[in-house]
Chains A and B, each alone.
Chain A
Amino acid sequence: MPELDSAMLSRLLTSLTLGFHILFATLGVGVPLLISGAEWIGIRRKDNHYRILARRWTRGFVVTVAVGVVTGTCIGLQLSLLWPSFMEVAGQVIGLPLFLETFAFFFEAIFLGIYLYTWDRFENPYYHWLLSVPVVIGSTASAFFISTVNAFMNSPKGFKLDNGQITEIKPLIAMFNPATPTKASHVISTAYLTSAFVLAAITAFLILKKGNSEYYRKALHFTMVTAFVFAIATVVIGDFSGKYLAKYQPEKLAAAEWHFETEKGADLIVGGILGEDGEVKYGLHLPNFLSILAHGDPNAEVIGLNEFPEDETAPLFIHYLFDLMIGIGMFLAALSTVFLILSRWRQGWQHSKLILWTIVAAGPLALLAIEFGWIFSEVGRQPWILWHVMETVDGATTSEHVGAMFILFFALYVVLGWICISVLLKMFRNNPVETEFEQMDR
């Protein structure tokens, strides 16, 4: 058992806050795109179904965005409170994207406020739709900027360290480090994918409970088409991410894949249990697939974990997280493909109970995949807070009160999560979609 010192508690509190925040942040990035898309289709086709869809999504979105904003504020300050030494270094090198992120957030906050309170203000409905565009841009841009900060931690570039002194700082090189393209695009595409599946799951659940209607059919089709597009994007980007790892963080990939010996034509291990003697049991070996994943060549050499000192590699349980993340990703891609094929060639089959229940399950699974992916990514770079530059324990606070703060924030998130869910449920139960149509017709 690792000791519960300030560094360990700081890690736990940071993971707690991020783990909670990331659910709301993911929806915060993705849902505006779907709202904007639905409103646009509604205006273009003069179809009130889509416009009401946009309104109802927005109403729920505001509640989740509030939790996203306050927990985002928490993690923003906790970075300095829990990791003062790290932030002293990072502030000098990576201050720019952190700063830009708040600009994007500012921009989004302003236009979200305007968007919410101007539904019926304009003669020309496109004006109101236009207000959603800065919200989409702002939320996506903040995801991009904050991802570059995380990418920097995985691949610190753009500075030199001489005896603890940081010199030759190049802010743009630090921001556009080698990890940035795969990291940022993966974060953004999975946020869109997950949001689409969460909204699809809600719709599918309502169809199962209240019966099918034209409104629900349109909502389900729209979310599943969006999900399909971003599932394909995620699969492609995921492949690039694997190749990035092989090149820049080989020990992270090796730990994720339980790949111990450096070899050519390496097998990919799916699932399995790691015995105490380092033997993998029950795993499914896909010949040469790891070489393909890492280098796009079935006979390429993949560096094994044994090449690295033991105290510089991540815990091996990340293999499970890696497999779960990829497994769910593949499942989401397959499900959205099947849905589209059925709705094109087997009209009506896509609304069968089996498919609908599978979609209901896919929503929470998508959120779980986000969690697994982030835990894999973050635990996978241990023991480093700055890859091969600063160890995590050296960045943590020395304060003695982290334990108490952990309990405080844990209680906060329980309360927030609980009330957020009950408010959302109450909101939609008390105001079913049918009354909304009546209001619009008046």
Chain B
Amino acid sequence: MDIQILGITVLWIFLYGYLIVASIDFGAGFFAYYGKVTKRDDVINSIISRYLSPVWEVTNVFFVFFFVGLVGFFPKTAYYYGTALLVPGSIALVLLAIRGSFYAFGNYGAKDSHFYTFLYGATGLLIPASLSTALTISEGGFIDEKNGTVVFLVEELLTSFYSWAVVFLAIVSVLYISAMFLSFYASKAKDLKALELLRKYALFWSPPTILASFLVFLALKGHNEEHFNNMVDYSYFFILSFICFNIAVWLVYKNKRYGTAFIFVMLQFLFAFFGYGVSHLPYILYPYITIEAGFTNEAMGIALVIAFIAGLFLLIPSLFLLMRMFLFDAKYVEGNREK
């Protein structure tokens, strides 16, 4: 395998990891707030905070890892994205900063602040929307290079059907993934009341998710036909994704095997995300950066790959330990452990 392909695959895996863990986190924030407003917080909020408290920081690292890795493997992206994304990137940063710190303030410090929960819930939906702009921009058409400077075409972005379809998909899939995961967590905790409610959320958000996916597909045809045709060539990825979606929703509908259902949710997004990624190649930022031209020099590429493999030897056992203690430890999940 080419070192470029290896590099982008590594990054794509991390972005996928972030997509899953961050969706759970973002959606959970929304449900926690929604639960509070509808006076059902006693039912679901203990489940949510039991999962989130030990892992929120780890979720954040997935994100940092992705963008540091991207600049490391593909330094040219720093030049184009950096200039173009100053405003949307800064807004996303401020939202992330508010969300992360207020989570800690609320959960480790002052308990039960309505305002903190609201901030946590609202940012949970705004962040995916603002982060998805980076993916939208990668399709081309929103950046112009004039006289050696990069200009970000904000109006184009705000009036584009494609970009709104992506935002819509980002938000509904966050709620769908999160509800699916929390249903699994509630069933694991044998908390039937929470399960009943979360299951309803999961089923409620499943049709919009698949609808939004089709919408993005269609919108892309109008925006970047070359990419759309590539996606058609890789259509088996998306068919597999759709099959996984059906299995997951069916299992939840039948009220059984929530663990398996969530694995199928993960597979659903894995296929869709990698199908999207593969068909996007060789471009990282259409049409300015390809994986060939944008890749860092040979020496740094090799050093990064070695560092990455060495790092995995440290990370995988640690992540495994974290999951064993907070995801698969029945006593903890059921809430029978003291803090």
Beta-carbon nearest neighbor of B89 in chain A: A81
Beta-carbon nearest neighbor of A172 in chain B: B303
Q: Which residues of B contact A398 (CB under 8 A)?
A: 83, 149-150
Whether A414 sits at the interface, judged by CB under 8 Å, is: no
Taken together as a complex, chains A and B put the C-alpha atoms of A399 and B79 apart, in Å, by: 12
Whether A412 sits at the interface, judged by CB under 8 Å, is: yes
Among A71, A81, A134, A426: residue with most chain B CB under 10 A: A81
Other A-B pairs, 19, CB within 8 Å; known A72-B64, A111-B318? A59-B108, A69-B100, A70-B100, A76-B64, A82-B82, A85-B79, A87-B75, A95-B72, A95-B73, A95-B304, A100-B311, A113-B54, A113-B322, A118-B325, A121-B337, A166-B297, A408-B94, A416-B101, A419-B105
Which A-B residue pairs are the 9 nearest by beta carbons?
A91-B75, A66-B104, A84-B82, A95-B72, A423-B109, A113-B54, A87-B78, A70-B97, A80-B82
Within 8 A of A (CB), among B185-241: none
Among B55, B318, B321: residue with most chain A CB under 10 A: B318
Q: Mark B63-85, 1 if CB is under 8 A from A, else 0.
A: 11101110111111011111101
**Cβ contact within 8 Å between B105 and A423:** yes
Beta-carbon nearest neighbor of A120 in chain B: B338
**Cβ contact within 8 Å between A66 and B314:** no
Whether A67 sits at the interface, judged by CB under 8 Å, is: yes
Taken together as a complex, chains A and B put the C-alpha atoms of A109 and B314 apart, in Å, by: 13
Whether B254 sits at the interface, judged by CB under 8 Å, is: no
Q: Mark A64-108, 1 if CB is under 8 A from B, else 0.
A: 011101111110111011111101111111011011111101110
Q: Mark B276-301, 1 if CB is under 8 A from A, else 0.
A: 00000000000000000000110110
**Cβ contact within 8 Å between B304 and A105:** no
Whether A169 sits at the interface, judged by CB under 8 Å, is: yes
Taken together as a complex, chains A and B put the C-alpha atoms of A426 and B112 apart, in Å, by: 13
Beta-carbon nearest neighbor of B310 in chain A: A103
Total A-B pairs, Cβ < 8 A: 223
Whether B15 sits at the interface, judged by CB under 8 Å, is: no
Taken together as a complex, chains A and B put the C-alpha atoms of A70 and B101 apart, in Å, by: 7
Taken together as a complex, chains A and B put the C-alpha atoms of A100 and B299 apart, in Å, by: 16
Within 8 A of B (CB), among A380-428: 397-399, 401-402, 404-405, 408-409, 412, 416, 419-420, 423-424, 426-427
**Cβ contact within 8 Å between A412 and B318:** no
Whether A114 sits at the interface, judged by CB under 8 Å, is: yes
Beta-carbon nearest neighbor of B63 in chain A: A73
How far in angstroms is the closest Cβ of chain A from B86? 5
**Cβ contact within 8 Å between A77 and B86:** no
Whether B87 sits at the interface, judged by CB under 8 Å, is: yes
Q: Which residues of B contact A107 (CB under 8 A)?
A: 314-315, 318
Within 8 A of A (CB), among B35-92: 53-55, 57-58, 60-61, 63-65, 67-69, 71-76, 78-83, 85-87, 89-91
Instruction: Return 21 A-B CB contacts under 8 Å, by A number.
Output: A66-B103, A66-B104, A69-B60, A73-B64, A84-B80, A87-B71, A90-B75, A91-B71, A95-B303, A98-B71, A106-B58, A114-B325, A119-B338, A120-B338, A134-B318, A169-B297, A402-B86, A416-B101, A420-B101, A423-B110, A427-B110
**Cβ contact within 8 Å between B71 and A117:** no
Q: Count of A residues near B, CB < 8 Å?
A: 74
Beta-carbon nearest neighbor of B319 in chain A: A110
How far in angstroms is the closest Cβ of chain B from A17? 10
**Cβ contact within 8 Å between B105 and A80:** no
Whether A62 sits at the interface, judged by CB under 8 Å, is: yes
Taken together as a complex, chains A and B put the C-alpha atoms of A91 and B86 apart, in Å, by: 18
Q: Which residues of A contact B91 (CB under 8 A)?
A: 408
Q: Which residues of A contact B65 (CB under 8 A)?
A: 102, 106
Whether B3 sits at the interface, judged by CB under 8 Å, is: no
Looking at chain A's contact residues, is the secondary structure mostly helix, strand, loop, or mixed?
helix
Taken together as a complex, chains A and B put the C-alpha atoms of A111 and B325 apart, in Å, by: 11
Beta-carbon nearest neighbor of A101 in chain B: B68
Whether A315 sits at the interface, judged by CB under 8 Å, is: no
Whether A112 sits at the interface, judged by CB under 8 Å, is: yes
Q: Which residues of B contact A405 (CB under 8 A)?
A: 86-87, 90
Whether B326 sits at the interface, judged by CB under 8 Å, is: yes
Q: Count of B residues near A, CB < 8 Å?
A: 69
With A87-B75, A95-B75, A114-B54 in contact, do A401 and B109 touch (Cβ < 8 Å)? no
Contact of B86 among A63, A82, A99, A113 (CB under 8 A): A82
How far in angstroms is the closest Cβ of chain A from B120? 12
Q: Which residues of B contact A88 (CB under 8 A)?
A: 75-76, 78-79
With A76-B67, A111-B318 in contact, do A63 and B300 touch (Cβ < 8 Å)? no
Taken together as a complex, chains A and B put the C-alpha atoms of A43 and B85 apart, in Å, by: 50
Whether A285 sits at the interface, judged by CB under 8 Å, is: no
Residues of B within 8 A of A (CB): 53-55, 57-58, 60-61, 63-65, 67-69, 71-76, 78-83, 85-87, 89-91, 93-94, 96-98, 100-105, 108-110, 149-150, 152, 296-297, 299-300, 303-304, 307-308, 311, 314-315, 318-319, 321-322, 325-326, 332, 337-339
Q: Mark A168-208, 1 if CB is under 8 A from B, else 0.
A: 01111000000000000000000000000000000000000
Contact of A92 among B63, B94, B300, B314 (CB under 8 A): B300
**Cβ contact within 8 Å between A74 and B97:** yes
Whether A273 sits at the interface, judged by CB under 8 Å, is: no
Q: Which residues of A contact B109 (CB under 8 A)?
A: 63, 423-424, 426-427
Q: Which residues of B contact A78 (CB under 8 A)?
A: 90, 93
How far in angstroms is the closest Cβ of chain A from B285? 13
**Cβ contact within 8 Å between B82 and A87:** yes
Contact of B72 among A62, A98, A109, A113 (CB under 8 A): A98
How far in angstroms is the closest Cβ of chain A from B130? 12
How far in angstroms is the closest Cβ of chain A from B201? 26
With A82-B86, A96-B307 in contact, do A112 and B98 touch (Cβ < 8 Å)? no
Whether A280 sits at the interface, judged by CB under 8 Å, is: no
Beta-carbon nearest neighbor of B75 in chain A: A91
How far in angstroms is the closest Cβ of chain A from B226? 26
Taken together as a complex, chains A and B put the C-alpha atoms of A100 and B315 apart, in Å, by: 12
How far in angstroms is the closest Cβ of chain A from B31? 21
Taken together as a complex, chains A and B put the C-alpha atoms of A69 and B61 apart, in Å, by: 9
Beta-carbon nearest neighbor of A427 in chain B: B109
**Cβ contact within 8 Å between B97 and A71:** yes
Whether A334 sits at the interface, judged by CB under 8 Å, is: no
Q: Which residues of B contact A66 (CB under 8 A)?
A: 57, 100-101, 103-105, 108
